[in-house]
Amino acid sequence: MAFDLKEHPHRRFNPLTRQWVLVSPHRTQRPWLGQVETVADEKQPAYDPACYMCPGNTRAAGARNPDYKTTLVFDNDYPALLPETPQGNIDVNDLLVAKSEAGICRVICFSPRHDLTIARMSLEELRPVMDLWAEQSQELGSREFVNYVQVFENRGAMMGASNPHPHCQIWGSDSVPDEPAKEQLAQQEYQSTRNSCLLCDYLALERQRGERIVFENQLFTVLAPFWAIWPFETLVLARQHIGSLTDLIGDQRDALADALKRLTTRYDHLFETSFPYSMGFHQTPTDGKHQEWHLHAHFYPPLLRSATVRKFMVGYEMLGTPQRDITAESAAARLREMKEI
Ligand SMILES: [Zn+2]
Ligand SMILES: [Zn+2]
Ligand SMILES: [Zn+2]
């Protein structure tokens, strides 16, 4: 019997993080006994007087939002990081190790409308969001104490998003956080041993094979990565070696808006629900020392087989290694079938 990725349990390697995922394709038909979650009421008002992100409303710390028409950015009222943090280190026998961390946390509202999502916004409405991601990455990254800028969106109550108002966060930090730090090491080593970009090479390989590609536009390819952990995880990759959001110019930003809108629309159709996810960009650190980075976005959606049945990262996943049943290839095939309107 020959080893077959479609039939036999196997491990797949993530060359970006150097972690493995256990894939169990033989198990996809087993009966599902997992938790059935109730579907939250999706219908939101266009304006919510109790929302701290809607125009004209007062926020927790007392500031009042302007009557904004496109996007809004403000410092998080309860920031995880503070710019004025004193520098310090603790190291007791390499066992009790701590470092001070300075940073800045902001919130970006995509729209004054409380009831929209990326999927429901027009390309014209999305473009200012792309512009703001680039501007804010530039602005935060130019600060002395900021060496990495992380843009991320938590969408849906299932992912713990406290407010349905379309928004994301942007955090600038002194250190490069763990996930991009792992990817940086892998990209650096690949670059130095092969004199080539890991993600440029990976993308070329995936485009040859085709089976994990979801769709492409003029600049971006969206695919289910070979090593995906979440059932419908995707990777959004530029087909040019672009390092960061600030390097995207002109219609490249429209292309990003188009890719994100089309992807989230397909997601919404998958289980006919406003699809929850955590997404974010990985990009070049702003310490001026790195050229090996290839800009990309990860989408990590929790849903497994319906609007109410999600994947949990528990048990073997917490104690051993992440595990999945449906393969990245079949997830890509499902997403390819979805409508974009
Ligand atoms: Zn709102
Ligand atoms: Zn590249
Ligand atoms: Zn990444």
Distance 214 CA to ligand 1 centre (A): 32
pLDDT of residue 161: 82
Report pTM.
0.96
Backbone phi and psi for residue 316, each to the nearest 5 degrees, phi listed first = -60, -35
- Given a contact cutoff of 8 angstroms between Cβ atoms, the answer to whether 213 and 221 are in contact is yes
Mean pLDDT by groups of 10 residues along the chain of 341 residues? 93 98 85 58 87 95 95 96 96 98 98 97 98 98 97 91 93 98 97 97 98 98 98 98 97 98 97 95 94 96 91 95 95 96 91
- Given a contact cutoff of 8 angstroms between Cβ atoms, the answer to whether 6 and 327 are in contact is yes
- d(CA 17, CA 235) in angstroms, rounded, equals 14
pLDDT of residue 284: 97
Backbone phi and psi for residue 160, each to the nearest 5 degrees, phi listed first = 85, 10
Distance 166 CA to ligand 1 centre (A): 8
Active site residue 269: no
Ligand closest to CA 48 = 1
Instruction: Give DSSP secondary structure letters for 72-130.
Output: EEEE-SS-SSBTTPPP-EEEETTTEEEE--BEEEEEEES-S-TT--TTTS-HHHHHHHH
Distance 328 CA to ligand 1 centre (A): 35
Distance 76 CA to ligand 1 centre (A): 15
pLDDT of residue 27: 86
- d(CA 90, CA 120) in angstroms, rounded, equals 48
- Given a contact cutoff of 8 angstroms between Cβ atoms, the answer to whether 106 and 74 are in contact is yes
- d(CA 8, CA 329) in angstroms, rounded, equals 14
pLDDT of residue 118: 98
Relative orientation angle of helices 251-270 and 123-141, to the nearest 10 degrees: 120
Ligand closest to CA 17 = 3
Grouping H, G, I as helix, E, B as strand and the rest as coil, residue 224 is coil
Grouping H, G, I as helix, E, B as strand and the rest as coil, residue 184 is helix
Helix H segments across 154-197?
A: 178-194
Ligand closest to CA 283 = 3
Q: Please name which of 69, 75, 86 lies closest in space to residue 108, comparing C-alpha atoms.
A: 75
Residues lying with their CB under 5 A of ligand 3, a single-atom ion:
183, 282
pLDDT tens-digit map of 278-312: 999 999 999 988 889 999 999 999 999 888 889 99
Q: Please name which of 326, 235, 328, 321 lies closest in space to residue 21, comparing C-alpha atoms.
A: 321
Distance 230 CA to ligand 3 centre (A): 14
- d(CA 274, CA 267) in angstroms, rounded, equals 8
- d(CA 247, CA 36) in angstroms, rounded, equals 43
Distance 341 CA to ligand 3 centre (A): 28
pLDDT of residue 162: 78
Query: Considering 114, 165, 167, 296, which one is annotated as catalytic?
Result: 167
- d(CA 33, CA 21) in angstroms, rounded, equals 23
Distance 239 CA to ligand 2 centre (A): 8
Distance 161 CA to ligand 1 centre (A): 13
Ligand closest to CA 164 = 1
- Given a contact cutoff of 8 angstroms between Cβ atoms, the answer to whether 276 and 157 are in contact is yes
Ligand closest to CA 181 = 3
- d(CA 325, CA 22) in angstroms, rounded, equals 9
Q: Which CA distances in Å does 284 have to 51, 130, 148, 242, 243?
A: 34, 17, 8, 9, 6
- d(CA 150, CA 103) in angstroms, rounded, equals 11
- The pair of structure tokens assigned to 223 is 């695919």
If one counts every other C-beta atom within 10 angstroms of the C-beta of residue 30, the result is: 9
pLDDT tens-digit map of 19-48: 999 999 998 765 555 555 556 656 899 999
Q: Please name which of 136, 131, 128, 84 lies closest in space to residue 107, comparing C-alpha atoms.
A: 136
Q: Please name which of 121, 326, 143 lies closest in space to residue 130, comparing C-alpha atoms.
A: 121
